[in-house]
A and B are shown apart, each in its own frame.
Chain A
Amino acid sequence: MQKSTTLPPAPKKTRGESTLAVHAGEDRQKLGDSITDPIICAATFTFENTQAVVDFIEQKQPREEYGRYGNPGEKVIERKLAELENGEHALLYSSGMAAIVGLLMTKLSAGDEVVFFDECYHRSREFCTKHLSRFGVVTRQVKACDYEAMEAAVNDRTKLLVSESPTNPHLSIVDLDRFAEIGRRTGVETLIDATLATPYNVRPLDHGVDYVLHSATKYLAGHNDVLAGALIGDHEKLAPVRALRGVMGAVNSAHNIYLLERGLKTFGIRMQRQNENGQAVAEFLDGHSRVERVYYPGLESHSYHEIARQTMRGYGGLVTFLVKDADWRETGRIVDSVKIPRIAPSLGGVESLIEQPLVMSYYECSPEDRRQFGIPDNMIRMSCGIEDKEDLIADLQQALDA
C-alpha cells in the first residue's frame, strides 16, 4: 500500500483568477456568435440518422445524448471550475450534498470504511452514519486536525479520508499537505470539502488532495439564488463518478447552470471583498467587550492562524463568535437586533446572513451532543456578504450595544 510521498507538481496557472473566472472553460466563439453561453433546456439531443447513433456509441464521440448524462452548459461550468481549482476534471451536481453522495456512492461498497474529521458538515457525516451504514459501510470519526488519530483509524478496508477546511462553524484549518500525505502513505484517497475556502483562497489539489468538493450554492454561485454542487479531481478517478451520476440523476438544471456561470464571472472581486469584510468584522468583534471569543483564521488568536497564514490567501466571509455571559435567549436577541444580515442558513452570497447554530442546526440535539459538537448556547455565526464593511460593523455594534 506504500505510495510515493513526493508531491505532484502543481500545473502551472497561466492567468489570474479574475480572468479565469470570466473566461475559463468557455468557447471564445459561441453558439449564434453570442458573447454569453446559451441556456440549453433540451432534455434530449438529436441524432441526424441511425448511423450517427452508431458512430456516437462506437467512437465514443464527445457529444450530448440525453440531459441526465450531460448538457453543453454544464460542461462549460465543469471546465471553468476545473481550471479555477487547477484540476483536470470537474463534475457538476444539483447540490453540494448530491456531489458528496455521488462520490461516496462510487467509492464505498459493503465492508468499506470512510474516516472523517469530526468537524465536517454534519449532513455529510449523517449520510454515512445513517444511510451508508445500511449498506454495510463503516464510518469512523476522529477529532478534527488530529492527524495521528486519522492515520490510526485507517485500515485495509478504508477507501476514503474526508475533511472540510475551513470547518464550519469553528473554522479550523486542516494542514492539507499533512492530510494528503496520510492518504498517500496509506494508499487511501482523500477528499476536502473546500466550500468555505474556495479556489480563490486555497486549492487543495495543489497540496496533493485527490478530490475537492464544493457546495457551489455558496461562494461560487454567490447570489443566494442557485443550489449546486461540484467535485474536482483527476479525469480518470472521476470517470466512474460521472458514470454513476448519469445513473443516479442528481444533475443540475439548465437555468441554474446559467446563473452559476454568471455568478462565477464576479467570483474574484466577490471573494476579495468577502475576505476583507470577514477580517474587518472579526477584528471588530474581537475588540468588543460583549464578545467572549471569535473564531476566524485571520486572527492571531485563532488556534490555526499559523497554518492558515501559510496556506491561504484570505480567510473568507464566515465569522463565528461567542457572546459573553449570554444564554441562548439573550444570544438570540442579538441575532434578532441586527438589521442588515438576514436570519437564514447558508453562506457565501452577496447578502450577509446570520444565525445561531444552536437554533438553526442543532435545536433538536441534546445538550450533551451539542457540547460534544462544540456548539455552545451563546454562539453566533455570521456570513459576511459584500456590503460595505462599515455598515456591517455599525450594525453589529448597535445589536451588541442594544
Chain B
Amino acid sequence: MKFRTRSIHVGNERDPETGAVVPPIHVASTYVQHQAGEWREFDYGRSGNPTRKALERTIASLEGGTHALAFASGMAATHGATMLLESGDHMVAGADIYGGTYRLLHKILSRSNVGITLANSRDLEELERAITPQTKLLWLESPGNPLMSITDLAACVEIAKRHKLLTAVDNTFATPVLTRPLELGVDIVMHSATKYLGGHSDVLGGVLVVNDDELFDRLYFTQNATGAVLGPFDSFLVSRGLKTLELRVREQCRTAEKIAAFLDADARIGRVLYPGLPGHPGHDIARRQMCGGFGAMLSFEVAGDFETAKRVVQSTKLFQLAVSLGAVESLIEQPASMSHASYDAADRAKHGIADGLIRISVGLEDADDLIADLDQAFDR
C-alpha cells in the first residue's frame, strides 16, 4: 500500500468487537489479567496502551520502521533517545539543532558526564573531526532551524558507520512524507509529533522510530522505566492527524514554494532561506533527499533592522504571531526576539540569525491569501 493509504489504515484496523471504523480510545490505566503471573499484551498504561500502540504502528509504517514509541512531547522523545548514553560517552550533534535539544544536551545530559560536541553537519570533514573514541551517537536535524540548512543524511550515516556510531535524526521539519531517514541507514528517527504529525496545533507529543529489535528493546525499557508516555486522547488526536498528513504536507509545500518565489522576487526582501530555491546552498541535496517537496518552513530577511522585522511579524492578519510550526494555521515569528532570543546578539550573528530574520510556518490557507497578507505587512 502507498504512503497515504497506510496512514489511514495501518494501526486503524476495524475494531473486532464493535466493528467501529475508528478504533476506540482506551483510557484505562490498568488491565485485568487472566491469571497471576501470566501477563497479557497490555498490563499497565505506562507499559502499553492500545490507542498509543495503534499510533505507534502507524508511525512505524510511515517511517519505514518496525517499531515506534510515542512520548509526551518531542523533548521527552529526544531525552528517551539520549538515555541510551552512559557516563563517559560522547555525542556529536549538528550545529543547526533545535534550541530545546541544545539545552537538553548541554544542561541536562552533561550532568551525567556525557560529552557533547556541536559540529557543522554540512561540512562532513568537520563533522568527522568531532568524533572521538568515546563517541556513541550522532544527532542530526534536516532541514535545520531557523536557517533551513540541509544535511546530507546518507553521507553522515556513512561516516557514523565507519566509527560505529548510532545515528539519530530529528525529522520534524521534513516529515516522513518527504524524507524517511531509516531508509538512508539512520538508526533512530525522532519527531516532535506536536508539529506536522499531529498537524492541528492541539497536541503535544513526540515519537522515536527504529527498525532494529534490540535497539527498540533498549528504548522501550527506558521509556517504561521513566514514564514519559503519550496519553490516550492525545494518541487519538495524533492518529487522526496522520490520516491527512500527506495531503497537508504536500499542499503546505506547494504553498511554501509559491511564497518563496514571491519573496525571492520582491525588492523589499533580502535573503530567502528555502531549500526549494535553486540558490539555496542545500538545494541539490534537498532535491535528492526530500521527495517531491522542500518543506513548508522558510525564513527570510527584511531590509531594515530589528524594529522593521518586529513590525512585519505584528502586521500580518492571517499569519499568527507564535512559535511552533507544522499546523494548519500559518505562523510567523522573529527568531531574534522569539525562538532564538536566549542567544546573545553576538552568538545570533555567529549563527547567521540576523535581527531582520523572519521565520514562517506555512499552513493550509490558500497561497494567494497568504501572499497578499505578507505583501500588506511589508508595506506597513
Q: How far is the CA of A22 from the CA of B248 in the complex (A)?
A: 12
Interface: A350 (CB within 8 A): yes
CB-based contact A266/B8 at 8 Å: no
* Contacts across chains A and B counted by CB atoms under 8 Å: 104
CB-based contact B364/A22 at 8 Å: yes
Interface: A64 (CB within 8 A): no
Contact with B along A228-268 (1 / 0, CB 8 A): 00000000000000000000000000000001001001101
Interface: A307 (CB within 8 A): no
CB-based contact A388/B364 at 8 Å: no
Interface: A122 (CB within 8 A): no
Contact with B along A14-45 (1 / 0, CB 8 A): 01111101110000100000011000000000
Chain B: which residue is nearest A14 at the CB level? Answer: B369
Q: Which residues of A contact B1 (CB under 8 A)?
A: 340, 388, 391
Q: CB < 8 Å: which of A223, A270, A344, A390 contacts B19?
A: A344
CB-based contact B322/A35 at 8 Å: yes
Interface: A149 (CB within 8 A): no
CB-based contact A386/B8 at 8 Å: yes
Q: How far is the CA of A268 from the CA of B12 in the complex (A)?
A: 23
Classify chain B: how many residues form its interface, as a range.
35 or more
Contact with A along B1-18 (1 / 0, CB 8 A): 111110011001010000
Chain A: which residue is nearest B240 at the CB level? Answer: A223
**Residues 6-34 (chain B) with a chain A CB within 8 angstroms:** 8-9, 12, 14, 19, 21-22
Q: How far is the CA of A388 from the CA of B8 in the complex (A)?
A: 10
Q: Which residues of B contact A259 (CB under 8 A)?
A: 240
Q: Which residues of B contact A23 (CB under 8 A)?
A: 318, 329, 365
Interface: A351 (CB within 8 A): yes
Q: Which residues of A contact B4 (CB under 8 A)?
A: 386-388
CB-based contact A18/B21 at 8 Å: no
**Residues 271-289 (chain B) with a chain A CB within 8 angstroms:** none
Q: Which residues of B contact A273 (CB under 8 A)?
A: 247
Q: Which residues of B contact A262 (CB under 8 A)?
A: 200, 202, 237, 240
B328 to chain A, nearest CB (A): 4
**Residues 345-402 (chain A) with a chain B CB within 8 angstroms:** 346, 349-351, 353, 385-388, 390-391
Q: How far is the CA of A184 from the CA of B22 in the complex (A)?
A: 44
Q: How far is the CA of A15 from the CA of B3 in the complex (A)?
A: 31
Interface: A186 (CB within 8 A): no
Interface: B82 (CB within 8 A): no
Contact with A along B350-371 (1 / 0, CB 8 A): 0000000000000111101100
Interface: B90 (CB within 8 A): no
B202 to chain A, nearest CB (A): 5
CB-based contact A390/B2 at 8 Å: yes
CB-based contact A35/B247 at 8 Å: no
Q: CB < 8 Å: which of A15, A225, A265, A387 contacts B9?
A: A387
Query: Which 5 residue pairs spanning A and B have beta carbons closest together?
Result: A16-B366, A388-B2, A19-B365, A387-B5, A265-B328
26 inter-chain pairs at a CB distance below 8 angstroms, sorted by A residue, are A16-B365, A16-B366, A18-B365, A19-B318, A19-B365, A21-B364, A23-B329, A35-B201, A35-B327, A223-B240, A223-B243, A224-B21, A259-B240, A262-B200, A266-B247, A269-B244, A273-B247, A340-B1, A340-B5, A340-B9, A346-B21, A350-B8, A351-B9, A351-B21, A386-B243, A387-B4
- Known interface pairs A18-B364, A351-B12; 10 further A-B residue pairs with C-beta atoms within 8 A, sorted by A's residue number: A15-B366, A16-B365, A224-B22, A225-B22, A265-B200, A349-B21, A350-B243, A387-B9, A388-B2, A391-B5
Give me the interface of A with B, judged by CB distance under 8 Å.
15-19, 21-23, 28, 35-36, 223-225, 259, 262, 265-266, 268-270, 273, 340, 342, 344, 346, 349-351, 353, 385-388, 390-391
